[in-house]
Chain A
Amino acid sequence: MNAATIIAIMAIAAILFFAIRYIYKEKKKGNACIGCPYADSCPKHRQNGAGCGSAAQQKINIH
């Protein structure tokens, strides 16, 4: 096992760790579409908060 291999293994592990952690965090925040190009300008971006959830809208969703 040479130095390049070790670095590569560590790099893959780090990249995957951060990618998965990011996805997990966003999902937990209630973001349905990670990295959607419309991002912040999309009302769906923050569903749990003010998102598209008006009181009226959410009432219907519950049913």
Chain B
Amino acid sequence: MELAYALNKNTACAETRNDSCHAAGNKTLLDAEPGQTYIIKEINTDDDDMNSFLFRLGCYQGEPITLISKKKKSCIVVIKDGRYNLDQMLSEAIII
């Protein structure tokens, strides 16, 4: 289980070259449990416009985010009172 998790983590890093991956112990939305509410620690999309767009939806540091369901390539979350479908890249960019 532990190993699988690590592997998963590695592929995620390789795919997105996300800098935040280097900091160990950071959980992204992909590691979250469905039905649980988390507090957003950091948003790291490497794209200022995207960051501020997410901000305007109410998705920013310190705000709660709830995972409703998780698929291989996407997940459904609740931000504020709206449901959104996020793709894999975006889910990985949200650190909780």
Give yes or no for direct A-B contact (beta carbon below 8 Å).
Answer: no
Interface residues of B (CB under 8 A from A): none
